[in-house]
Amino acid sequence: MDKLSRDEFKILVEKRSGTGGSVSLFMPTYKATTEIRQNPIRLKNLLHKAEEHLEAVLPRPVEARKFLKPIQQLLDDELFWQHPSDGLAIFLSQDMFRHYFLPLNFEELAVVSSRFHIKPLLPLFNGDGRFYVLALSQNDVKLFQCTRYGTKEIDLAGIVPLSLAAALRPDGPERTLQSHSGAAGKGKESGVFTGQGVGDVAKKNILHFFQQIDRGLHHEILKEENAPLVVAGVNYLHPIYKEANTYQHLFDKGIDGNPEGLTSEELHKRAWTLVQPHFDQKQAEAISEYRQLIGSGHTSDSIGEIVPNAYSGLVEMLFVALGRQKWGTFDSSSNTVRLHEKEEPNDEDLLDFAAANTLIHRGAVYTVKPEQIPGGLPLAAIFRHERHHPGTGHKTA
């Protein structure tokens, strides 16, 4: 299972188990063929750490090994390891088992608690550096899910036509196209995806091709997205794809040139050069908006106020500090937040809790350096039109 949708993320966030009932594993993975065999070894070492944590809460060591058996079985599954990404995330409880190869270079981490640990996943869903790259050529179509840290190819089989020929009916426009492109190098319309121009008939066929791609992406992958989509292809294809496109977040600038000769890492690097100023500006505008609203009743830097509002879907924008934790508990029945100086049994990182709940309610989250957060505290928020008073169940306009 590779695609981590917002709905799947919500399931992970909301899942609760008893003490020690949820295991979360994160590890970086090798993608190069020469190193790929090290991935199962790395997971095996991580499993040992998880087993040690479980043995502290389960009655007997044998029960810990039995609990971890679904993950253990992945070690010898050759098919599972064939298409890794930058990182692997695994989640296991008594009644749930999920695993995802993702474009995130995780640090090795094993967490055993009453809920899944989701902080390392936040870059996939926050408003700071998540985008897609669509690589278009005559013989291939590829889509990459990207963060500022890495990239993961998404399987498009059965979602869009993977070549121009596949998009055209054998008794329709394809024959016309073939009649124009049959004599390579002798006409303006030969080598449709690699030449310098395109004729009317070929353009019509390419537009039809791109409309099918747009329709498949829109309905199956991008329907609930707001991340930028960067198109990579020879120069004259960009305006044709813009004509076919219905996705609201198609990036104005694209990657010029035939993408078939570029690796996923090269595509990611070129795309990030294009989109980074967009994300930097977006974050600066968000911080400016927060500062303008200070004193209006629509902002807060209080964890006790932000956490219950995030849980209720009333946080529009959240700033959370990288590398910081605030341990405590939240009682949703009374909207009560209790903070502890040090981690105590059954505690959770309330910064992670606020960020995760903001995201599943479609708020924007910016994970930034502590000194970049307005006010200098580890958490700050802009509320939607109504909010909860801390410690009560009442909303105020």
Report the 3 state secondary structure along 187-208: CCCCCCCCCCCCCHHHHHHHHH
**Out of 95-104, 253-262, 344-353, which region has the weakest mean confidence (pLDDT)?**
344-353
The C-alpha atoms of residue 46 and residue 24 are separated, in whole angstroms, by: 10
Domain count, the chain: 3
List of residues 6+ apart from 148 with CB closer than 8 A: 123, 128, 129, 272, 276, 279
Q: Which residues pair with 256 in a beta bridge?
A: 233
Residue where a domain stops, chosen among 257, 281, 305: 281
pLDDT at 245 over 90: yes
- Identify whether residues 246 and 305 lie together within a single domain: no
- Note down the domain range covering 106: 6-117
pLDDT at 321 over 90: no
pLDDT at 98 over 90: yes
pLDDT at 189 over 50: no
DSSP-derived secondary structure for 326-355? -EEEEETTTTEEEE-SS--TT-EEHHHHHH
**Out of 20-24, 26-30, 84-88, 209-213, which region has the weakest mean confidence (pLDDT)?**
20-24
pLDDT level of residue 139 (50, 70, 90 thresholds): confident
Which range scores top for mean pLDDT: 3-17, 127-141, 327-341?
Answer: 327-341
- Identify whether residues 103 and 154 lie together within a single domain: no
Residue 390 in domain: yes
The C-alpha atoms of residue 103 and residue 314 are separated, in whole angstroms, by: 29
The C-alpha atoms of residue 166 and residue 216 are separated, in whole angstroms, by: 14
The C-alpha atoms of residue 307 and residue 314 are separated, in whole angstroms, by: 10
Residue 50 in domain: yes
- Identify whether residues 166 and 266 lie together within a single domain: yes
Contact between 380 and 314 (Cβ < 8 Å): no
- Identify whether residues 160 and 24 lie together within a single domain: no
Residue where a domain stops, chosen among 96, 117, 138: 117
Average pLDDT over residues 31-52: 86
The C-alpha atoms of residue 304 and residue 300 are separated, in whole angstroms, by: 10
pLDDT at 114: 80
- In Å, what is the CA distance from 174 to each residue of 135, 138, 214, 245? 22, 13, 19, 22
Contact between 383 and 298 (Cβ < 8 Å): yes
The C-alpha atoms of residue 242 and residue 213 are separated, in whole angstroms, by: 12
